[in-house]
Structure 1
Amino acid sequence: MNNGVLFAICTLIWGSTWIAITYQIGHTAETLAVAWRYTLAALCLGLFCAVRGLPFKLPLHIHIKMAGVGFFLYCLNYTLLYMAQAHIISALLALMSSSIIYFNVVLRRWWLKQPIRLEVVVGATLGLAGIVCMFVPEFSKVSMDAALAAGVSIAFVSFFSASIGNVISERILTSGTPVIQMNFYAMSYAMVMLYITAWVTNETLVVPTAPEFYISLLYLALFGSVLAFGSYMKLLKQIGADKAAYVVLVYPIVALVISTFFEGYTWSWLSVLGVVVVLVGNAIAMGKVPMFMRRPPLSG
């Protein structure tokens, strides 16, 4: 599957999961909601491996790294993201999510000894400007208070944690570990960690009664986790964690399109400009603009 298709799958699915996550908030503890999501996802991946006869045996050092992905990307990142979304608006989260790209660039350079690619930095900066244009009206509704400050802090920790998970994933995948098995184990480890966390912190088990909770849970598990993360990991393996992370700047466009039909979002010339800037930034980040195609990376 080529990179364009993988990128499209991630953006289309994750552009809709922002809405799905809102139906998970307030029904039960965030830790349990995320645990149930990865329980379903891990069961699906494990069943797929068993039916297809895919090997489950992997070296111990790969298991340790997969546990790291489970903790940082699937456990800590999503638990904190659910918590942050209860305190701040989605527009602000979309803007802050752009920090993942910068975190990935720095961590790849420091940890994997990969060069800093100028096109990614320039593209990410344009994408950040585009997100600001798209959500300017929403930012006017934001007023700083203790809850917002807490939400912003939680969100930044979430995105930094996601970046650590991204870089560990790239290291695992480029060593030859198959995507499906890696996601199966990483999500399984995350599931166990989340249940242990819920038990240690004495989370009250509240069984939601709202049908929309379970509908959104199925969508998040099967599409948001199994399909989208499977596509994202293949993309990450093929183009690197820095370029793959540009997905986080494109899927807010999908979210706005969905919001237009379901929430009455009104487009302005500024939001249209923002979309154009994000797409131009994406073209630059992916090396599609001639002046960035053969430019040597920054090696520091």
Structure 2
Amino acid sequence: MEYPPIFSKTRLSSLNTNALLFSICVLVWGSTWIAINFQIKEAALMVSVGVRFAIAAAIIGVWCIVKKRSFHLSLEQHKLVAMAGAFLYALDYSFLYAAQQHIVSALLAVLSSSVIYFNVILRRIVLKKPVRSEVVLGASIGLLGIFLIFAPELQVMSTSQGLAAGLILAFGSFLSAGIGNVISEKVLDKHISVLQMNFWAMLYGVCLTFVIVFVTDTPLTLPSTSSYYYALLYLAVFGSVIAFGAYMQLVKQMGSDKAAYVVLVYPIVALAISTVFENYVWTISSMLGVIAVLIGNAIAMGKLTLPTTKANSA
């Protein structure tokens, strides 16, 4: 693994590597929802997405140069990485930013759990890998937990034309993420390093994003408010370079189906932040939801197994 020492297997020989990587994704992405709000209100959505991943790709590129890491990929590998970048970084986040303009983050958090099911199905179709029952069961219990957590917000949510548009955009985001995740797993199965994968995928994603910007004649102007740039740097460095470095290593080590469970856990971090800064009030429903998410996570990761009948033991 060629990422900074925090992602080094040798450095983590005495620790549970997957648990640490999972925690990094959850903690970082659980806080990026706040930063994204500063992005969607200040500039054209696709411009913000393109600049975010351009900065991230540049940071990874500089790291490669300093550490003398190879950028080389075969033509076939470039094709796969370009597809991963298009779906995972360009389309996924463009749809996500747009969806967040139309629907409340509570509904978006509930809907985001669908990424796991997309990953499971596409992983079976594209990679011919078996459907792991513990992932489906754990994800379903986790989805129930997310629904319990956000039930009060969903009950008072009003329906509107904007809601329909938000649902369509959210579906596009999660479908794109599922496709990108599975292609990324296929790329990483070919022994490409996470560093190479993320550099080229982000670069291709940036290229596609700005092609769409130019074709649609989207204004390239950026705001002058400092909060926009603080959020941009946080999203680029922590949300993209660090979190996606950890996430792709999880995909490589665990598979895209299990790695995607982070989407069910990081809303809990968002709630913790909201508790401190926005006076979020916990209810019995939300506490039960958190317990369900954690139980689902334990099942999906193989840490908790349900009793089975021994029908064939006689």
TM-score, normalised by the number of residues in structure 1? 0.96
The 3 A distance-change label for structure 1 pair 292 and 28 is: farther
Q: Indicate whether 1:168 and 2:183 are aligned.
A: yes
Offset, 1:70: 0.9
Count residues in correspondence: 294
Alignment of 1:81-92 (within 5 A): 81-92=96-107
Identify the match of residue 5 of structure 1 among 15, 20, 42: 20
- How many Å separate the matches in 2 of 1:198 and 1:141? 36
1:103 equivalent in structure 2 = 118
Q: Indicate whether 1:216 and 2:216 are aligned.
A: no
**Structure 2 unaligned runs (5+)?**
1-8, 10-16
- How many Å separate the matches in 2 of 1:39 and 1:195? 10
Offset, 1:137: 1.1
Q: Indicate whether 1:270 and 2:285 are aligned.
A: yes
2:137 equivalent in structure 1 = 122
Letter in structure 1 aligned against 2:23: A
1:244 equivalent in structure 2 = 259
- Secondary structure of 1:267's match? coil
- Secondary structure of 1:87's match? coil
CA contact (8 A) 1:49 1:55 kept: yes
- How many Å separate the matches in 2 of 1:189 and 1:108? 22
Q: Indicate whether 1:46 and 2:61 are aligned.
A: yes
Q: Indicate whether 1:18 and 2:33 are aligned.
A: yes
Offset, 1:205: 2.2
- How many Å separate the matches in 2 of 1:72 and 1:6? 23
Cα deviation code 1:197-242 (max 9, x no counterpart)? 1111000122201111000000000000000000000001101000
Alignment of 1:221-232 (within 5 A): 221-232=236-247
Larger deviation, residues 202-211 vs 71-80: 202-211
Offset, 1:141: 2.3
- How many Å separate the matches in 2 of 1:260 and 1:129? 21
Offset, 1:292: 7.6
1:177 equivalent in structure 2 = 192
Letter in structure 1 aligned against 2:204: Y
- Secondary structure of 1:153's match? helix
1:36 equivalent in structure 2 = 51
Q: Indicate whether 1:190 and 2:209 are aligned.
A: no
Identify the match of residue 261 of structure 1 among 245, 269, 276: 276
Identify the match of residue 151 of structure 2 among 126, 136, 142: 136
Q: Indicate whether 1:235 and 2:250 are aligned.
A: yes
2:12 equivalent in structure 1 = none
- How many Å separate the matches in 1 of 2:231 and 2:156? 27
1:285 equivalent in structure 2 = 300
**Structure 1 unaligned runs (5+)?**
296-300
1:298 equivalent in structure 2 = none
Cα deviation code 1:232-291 (max 9, x no counterpart)? 000011010000000000000000000111111110111011000000000000011133
- Secondary structure of 2:39's match? coil
Q: How much identity, in percent, do the aligned residues show?
A: 54
CA contact (8 A) 1:119 1:292 kept: no
- Secondary structure of 1:24's match? helix
Letter in structure 1 aligned against 2:155: S
CA contact (8 A) 1:27 1:206 kept: no
Letter in structure 1 aligned against 2:70: P
